[in-house]
Amino acid sequence: RLERSLELGTIVLVLVVGFFLVGQVALPLVLQLSGLKFSGFGVRSQAVFSLTFYLLMASAGLLVLYVAVRRFLPLPAGWFQFKLGDRWALWGLGGYFVALPLMIVVSIVNSRIWQGQGGSNPLLQLVLQEGDRVSLLIFLFTAAVAAPIFEETLFRGFLLPSLTRYLPAWGAIGLSSLIFAIAHLSLSEVLPLTVLGAVLGFVYARSRNLLSSILLHSLWNSVTMVSLFLLGSGTR
pLDDT digits (tens, 9 = 90+) for 162-198: 888 889 999 999 999 999 999 888 888 999 999 999 9
Provide the domain count of the chain.
Answer: 1
The answer to whether residue 1 sits within a structural domain is no
Interior/surface letters 187-218, b for 16+ CB within 10 angstroms, e for the rest: ebbbbbbbbbbbbbbbbbbebbbbbbbbbbbb
111 vs 19, more confident: 111
Between the alpha carbon of residue 45 and those of residues 32, 53, 132, 143, the distances in Å are 17, 12, 11, 17
Residues 6 or more apart whose CB falls under 8 angstroms from that of 164 comprise: 1, 2, 3, 4, 172
pLDDT of residue 199: 98
pLDDT of residue 36: 62
147 vs 232, more confident: 147
Of 80-84, 136-140, 159-163, the range with the lowest mean pLDDT is 80-84
Q: Taking residues 15-32, report their average pLDDT.
A: 77
Share of the chain above pLDDT 90, in %: 38
The answer to whether residue 3 sits within a structural domain is no
Residues 6 or more apart whose CB falls under 8 angstroms from that of 93 comprise: 215, 216, 219
Which residues form the domain of 61?
8-235
Per-residue pLDDT band at 147 (split at 50, 70, 90): very high
Average pLDDT across the chain, whole number: 83
Q: What is the 8-class DSSP label of residue 185?
A: -
Contact (CB, 8 A) for 221 and 142: no
Q: Taking residues 94-110, report their average pLDDT.
A: 94
SS3 content of the chain, % helix, strand, coil (to 5): 80, 0, 20
12 vs 208, more confident: 208
